[in-house]
Copies of this chain bind each other. A is one copy, B any other.
Amino acid sequence: MRRLPIYLRALHELLDEDVQIVSSHELAERTGLSPEQIRKDLAYFGAFGRRGVGYETRILASAIRDILGLNRELRVALVGAGNLGTALARYTADRHHGVRVVAIFDSDPHKVGTRIAGVVVQPLDQMVDTLRQRQIRMAIVAVPATQARRVIDMLAEAGVQGVLNFAPTKVRAPRGMRIHHVDVTLELQSLAFWVTAEGEVSGSSSGGEPSSWQVRQCRAEKEYPPRQ
């Protein structure tokens, strides 16, 4: 499921290059995945390819957009008009990925009424009514962690079914809602494991008792055998 958008991106690149037919090997090359995996994934949703030939670029792209529900542009609400929210709103406005921020809400009265990427910021207490009325079913949450739970409950009440949450808290998804979490802190902290701290030597250790950074080295060497 998470890989379909990756294929879609590669297919759009190929379409820009006027490539009509693409093989699983070519797609693998461009996505960094294996040809078998791509074939399995695509076959799961039905037979889109022709044996001995490959996949028809335009048809496959359209099929994937259809599976994802992106053939009509999906309207998304943004909650939280800070720097992060602004970046996201502008981003979806620039290129058309099938998803676009069409409503923005913030609790700060100073922000209400301003425009971001052409969309007027509305007060938070108008959110539930507006989303219901406009039948918006997806939202991006870019508010402080303390407000996330309340905002997500409100979104559930408004009938929102999918949420992309940037707030650094693990909130359980209400019934009927799916939440994808983007947690920068978690990413940075887990990435930290792979970098050597200052003062550490990146070569082999010189005796002494096993310390945590040796664990780190050991683990690191599992995935990067040569490591320089």
Known contacts A84-B84, A195-B138; A188/B69 CB under 8 A: no
Instruction: Verify if A203 is at the interface (C-beta below 8 Å from B).
Output: no
Q: List the 4 closest A-B pairs by CB distance, nearest first.
A: A83-B87, A5-B189, A84-B87, A161-B195
Instruction: Verify if A66 is at the interface (C-beta below 8 Å from B).
Output: yes
The distance in angstroms between the C-alpha atoms of A3 and B5, with both chains bound, is 25
How many subunits of this chain does the assembly comprise?
2
B188:A97 contact, CB within 8 angstroms: yes
Q: Flag A1-34 by CB within 8 Å of B: 1 or 0 each.
A: 1101110110000000000000000000001100
The distance in angstroms between the C-alpha atoms of A188 and B98, with both chains bound, is 9
B69:A185 contact, CB within 8 angstroms: no
B99:A189 contact, CB within 8 angstroms: yes
B138:A97 contact, CB within 8 angstroms: no
The distance in angstroms between the C-alpha atoms of A90 and B84, with both chains bound, is 10
Within the complex, the shortest CB–CB distance from A113 to chain B, in Å, comes to 19
Instruction: Verify if A132 is at the interface (C-beta below 8 Å from B).
Output: no
Bin chain A's interface residue count: 35 or more
Instruction: Verify if A197 is at the interface (C-beta below 8 Å from B).
Output: yes
A180:B187 contact, CB within 8 angstroms: yes
Within the complex, the shortest CB–CB distance from A66 to chain B, in Å, comes to 4
Q: Among the listed stretches A49-57, A119-127, A208-216, which one makes contact with chain B, having 4 or more residues with CB under 8 Å of it?
A: A208-216
The distance in angstroms between the C-alpha atoms of A227 and B156, with both chains bound, is 13
- Chain B residues in 8 Å Cβ range of A70: 189, 192
A191:B31 contact, CB within 8 angstroms: no
Within 8 Å by CB of A99, from B45, B66, B188, B194, lies B188
**Which residue on B lies nearest to A198, using beta carbons?**
B135
- Chain B residues in 8 Å Cβ range of A31: 170
Q: Which of A31, A63, A175 has the most C-beta atoms of chain B within 10 angstroms of its own C-beta?
A: A175
Instruction: Verify if A74 is at the interface (C-beta below 8 Å from B).
Output: yes
A212:B176 contact, CB within 8 angstroms: no
Within 8 Å by CB of A86, from B83, B91, B92, B180, lies B83
